[in-house]
Amino acid sequence: MRKKIIAGNWKMNMTPSQAVALVNELKPLVANEEVDVVFCVPAIDIIPAMEAAKGSNINIGAENMYFEESGAYTGEISPAMLTDVGVKYVVLGHSERREYFAETDQTVNKKVLKAFEHGITPIICCGETLEQREQGVTIDFIRQQIKIAFLNVTADQAKSAVIAYEPIWAIGTGKVATTAQAQEVCAAIRACINELYDEATGSAIRIQYGGSVSADSAAELFAQPDIDGGLVGGASLKADFGKIVNYK
């Protein structure tokens, strides 16, 4: 049985002092040991959020990371900076980073390899645009994103990875994918991992759905056989996140 993983993606929200207040508010609401709970927060919030989360079941993760060890990369955060403070998860290849910060499948792959090298679990995002869905190329497109993201990743590493399927048209729009749509693509992602590696790897890897997940939609989505939790944006910034974590 795969353990569910429910992660918040705060995006560019919450100052350090607001982050502490939010962690303190949510701490009692997300105290569910049956699932892995991760708050992926802006880099400057990582340390104060970790302090606030001490002694709780909340893992503090990062929203991005660079693929070099150190050096002249103004403004970037290195993997060692994250592990030094105890970060275990990093969101990689979010569609907003691909759209606004020129991330490509190739740079996502470099980041994925670097994260594994440092023992950080990547939450690897993929997802199609509305146009691609209407053209009927969703599965082809996602398979390409997954195949490139996992280039040179070993089976053992892949087993511990998290993939977040996030249809771009469902992100921040309130237009959640139907349960059937989400399950179909998550199943196709698992089949792709089976093909790239083997069934043991495919059945170990955890696949989240993301895109307008709410307290209302979580239970049905997370009950699907290939959906192992969610990556939650807007609803992770409020008390509703407690309901999502306790979706059953």
For ligand PGA, the closer CB: 36 or 166:
166
Residue 105: its H or E element: helix 105-117
Give the rounded distance of the alpha carbon of 152 from its chain centre: 20
Half-sphere exposure of 3 (CA within 13 A, CB side): 12
CA distance 93 to 146: 11
Query: Shortest approach of ligand PGA to residue 72 CB, angstroms?
Result: 30
Name the active-site residue from 94, 96, 103, 128: 94
Of 11 and 190, the one with the shorter C-beta distance to ligand PGA is 11
Measured from the CB of residue 195, what is the shortest distance to ligand PGA in angstroms? 26
Length of the chain: 248
- Which listed residue (63, 103, 128, 166) is catalytic? 166
Judged by beta carbon, residue 201 or residue 245, the one nearer ligand PGA is 245
- Comparing CB distances to ligand PGA, the nearer of 145 and 201 is 145
Quickly list H helices, 6-86. Answer: 16-26, 46-53, 79-84
Nearest approach in angstroms of CB 48 to ligand PGA is: 22
Least Å distance between CB 64 and ligand PGA?
13
Q: How far apart are CA 229 and CA 203, in angstroms?
A: 14
**Residue whose Cβ sits closest to ligand PGA:** 233
Q: Is 94 annotated as catalytic?
A: yes
Residues at the site binding ligand PGA, with contacts judged by CB under 6 A? 9, 166, 171-172, 210-213, 231-235
* 131: annotated active-site residue: no
Q: Tell me the Ramachandran region of residue 137: left when phi exceeds 0, alpha when psi lies from -120 to 50, beta otherwise.
A: alpha
The set of catalytic residues is 94, 166
